[in-house]
Structure formats: structure tokens, C-alpha cells
Amino acid sequence: MRVSVLVLLVCEQLLVLTSAQSRCDPLTQYDQAGQCCTMCAPGTRMLSPSLCLTPQCAECGQHEYQNRYNTEPRCKPQPYCDPNKNMEDSQPASKKKQSTCSCLRGFHCSSDVCVTCVPHTTCNPGQRAKSIGNHTQDTVCESCPEGSFSVSTSWNSVCTKWTECESGYQVQEKGTHVSDMVCVETPRNQGGLIAAAAVFGSVLIIIVLVCCLCRAGDTRQRAKGCLESCRGDREKLPREPSPLLFTQVDETENDPELQLSQEDEDMKIPEENLEGEREELVSEGVLSENGQFVTQERGKDSIQPQQETQAQTSMD
């Protein structure tokens, strides 16, 4: 019986304690003499706890923080990120949560306890960063794969694909891990160029020869004229056909009918016209004063009657 009574008493006390604790919010309130009082919000501190329901709170100062509801009279100091150790705040400053220090870009922690940061490993030309370093780990380098190259020295180096020669270009120098492919323009057909040059040269030579021959012909003609004028009657040059060398044959002498018709035609022509034509022929040197046709030998200055010329020719 006594044991049962003791158990009942313990249970009642536990129920009383549980009910008393459940009346206050453990996140935003605190118990003061059985009364639930309000705490100060994160980022602030409590100046005076005199007023239970409306306490006096003040904002945390610079480089301070308070990350929960509290009754603390002071805020917590933010950790110091020393830039001389290549460190910086990993996030903007806040008064409601603690800041964390991280390494600057290109650096990583020197140990598990990050008290200082050291530079990342740099990849040499012909290499790339297999894994780029961050706040906690270093850069890992590897060689560029076939068909790519790298010329930089950097902790975040990457490889660039070789240039592909376009149509009309050919490979002059193959790429390596540290150099790109070199492309040059494909040379045109050399045989075609040589043939075109030969044809052009032949045509040019022919044109030059023609011009030279033409100039030489003009020179010969000039020399020939000078020679003829100098020699005069001493040397006879080949004669050129001339209409004056041929005597006009009168077809009417052997044909009586033609003679009659010709006489009729002569009767129709006015006499003054005949006299005018005769004077023109005499003035031009075609007829002599006796009415004979005359010829002029090449290189002679005098004109002789046709009969005298024929007589001289028969004597020769």
C-alpha cells in the first residue's frame, strides 16, 4: 500500500512539472517565477529584463552577431578573417549569424584547421586542370588530350581544340600539346600556271616580232626611196605595174562596124568637150603635144612620147 502511494505522488509531481514547462515557448520565451517572459530577437541583445512581456533590446554592434532569441546583455563577436593570410568572409556580414572565413580565389586551406591559405598548384603549358582547386582542396593537373593544346600557366587552365583546316587550306604544321595546328592555303595547279605563262609569253613574243618587222619594213621603204633618189638614171630598179605602161588599143581599127558606131558617137560629143579633155590630158602629161600617149620611167624626171619610148626599147 505504501509503495503504491509513493508512486502516485511521484506521478503527480511529474505531471505538475510537465504542465508548468509546457506553458512557455522554449524558443521565444523564458520562465521567470512561473511567468512566461519574452526574449530578445536574433541580432539583438537584452538591455534590461525588468519588463517581462516587453523587454528592452538593442541591436548588435559592428562585427557582432546573435543567432538566436536570447536574454544576453552582449552580442557575440564575429570571427576575424585575416587578409594577410589570404582569407576573406565567405558571406556578407550579418548580425544574425556567425560569419565563416574562406580562402581568397586561387588559394586553399593549408590544413584541416583553416588558419591560413596557400596558392593553388599551377598547370604548365600542355596541361589542364583536371579538378580546379577551391577553399578546401588544391588544383590537380593533367596533360591535354590528343587533338588539343594549352599555352597558359594557370591553376584553372583549360585545353583548346586544334584548329581544323577549312576547304582550300592544308596542314603546314601539325598541332602539339603546346601549339595549335597551322593551316596554309593550298597551292594552285602549277602545271596550269606554267602553261598559261608559256602561252602568254609566246603571244607577247609574236606581238613584239610583228612590231619589229613593221618598223623594219618602214625603214626598208625609206631606205629604198633614198637609194632610188640617189642613184637616179644609173641603176634601174624593178618596175611596178602602172596603167601608163600599157598603150590603149583601139579595137575599132579592125572592126568596120565598130568604126562606124564610134564615128557616130564622136559626132554626138560636142567638140568643145573633146578639146577640154585633150587639154586636161596634155596638162597631166598623159598626151604629148602631137597627141601621143606618153609614159614615165621609174627614176626619170622627163616624160617622153610613147612612140619615142617604143623606138628606144626596140633599139635596146
Of 172 and 254, more confident: 172
Please give the pLDDT value at position 51.
Answer: 83
CATH 2.10.50.10 matches 24-77:
yes
Instruction: Select the CATH number that applies to the domain covering 83-161 from these four: 2.60.34.10, 1.10.10.60, 3.40.50.300, 2.10.50.10.
Output: 2.10.50.10
Q: 145 by DSSP, 3-state: which?
A: coil
What contacts 144, CB < 8 A, 6 or more positions away? 126, 127, 128, 150, 159, 177
208, pLDDT greater than 60: yes
Q: What angle do CA 114, 115, 119 make, to 5 degrees?
A: 75
- Residue 130 to residue 143: CA distance in whole angstroms: 9
Average pLDDT of 138-161? 94
User: Is there a contact between 55 and 37 (Cβ–Cβ < 8 Å)?
Assistant: yes
Burial class for 174, CB neighbours closer than 10 Å (0-12, 13-18, 19+) = exposed
- Residue 144 to residue 39: CA distance in whole angstroms: 61
Grid cell, residue 211, equals: 612590231
One-letter amino acid identity for 254?
N
Average pLDDT of 274-302? 53
Residue 291's pLDDT band, with cuts at 50, 70 and 90, is: low
Evaluate whether 24-77 and 83-161 have a shared fold: yes
Question: Please, what is the average pLDDT of the chain?
Answer: 74
Query: For the chain, which residues make up each domain, given as ranges?
Result: 24-77, 83-161
Residue 3's pLDDT band, with cuts at 50, 70 and 90, is: very low
User: Is there a contact between 144 and 126 (Cβ–Cβ < 8 Å)?
Assistant: yes
User: Which of 305, 272, 302 has its CA nearest to residue 287?
Assistant: 305
Give 146's DSSP letter: T
Strand 76-77 with 64-65, pairing: antiparallel
Full-prediction pTM beyond 0.85?
Answer: no
User: Which of 197, 180, 181, 200 has its CA nearest to residue 189?
Assistant: 197
